[in-house]
Amino acid sequence: MFQDIENFVGKITTGEIDQQSVSDATTEHVSTMPAQDVAQHVQTAAQNAEQNGQPDIAQQLVQLASTSRSDPEALKQGVISLISSNPQILQHFAPAFAQRIMASL
């Protein structure tokens, strides 16, 4: 599964998959999820980023997750924006989360 995500990220990097398509797929997936689930996925991604030696990304995700209590829609928009502008961050999310986005492409 992780190899699938790496391949997916490679296709984005080479331009085989355009960022607008990633943005559309992410929007479709995240907007239909309950905010609590999105917050859990972001928290998991933050932990994974920290464990993988990327504390800056982990901190960014933790800050994003903290908005879930005060503004769940802002959380969703933040996740969509973050993944759309930096699809490589999907490698930190749970495989099931990333698979749903990849399946839409």
- HSE-CB at 54 with a 13 A cutoff on CA atoms is 15
Question: Residue 88: what pLDDT?
Answer: 87
pLDDT score of 76 more than 80: yes
Q: For the chain, what are the domain ranges?
A: 35-105
Report the alpha-carbon distance of residue 48 to residue 102 in Å, rounded. Answer: 19
> Mean pLDDT of all residues in the chain?
90
Cα distances (Å, whole numbers) of residue 66 to 3, 30, 40, 59, 83:
30, 17, 11, 11, 17
Q: DSSP code of 52?
A: T
pLDDT score of 1 more than 70: no
pLDDT confidence tier of residue 46, bands split at 50, 70 and 90: very high
Question: What are the φ/ψ torsions at residue 15 (nearest 5 degrees)?
Answer: 90, 0
**pTM of the complete model:** 0.89
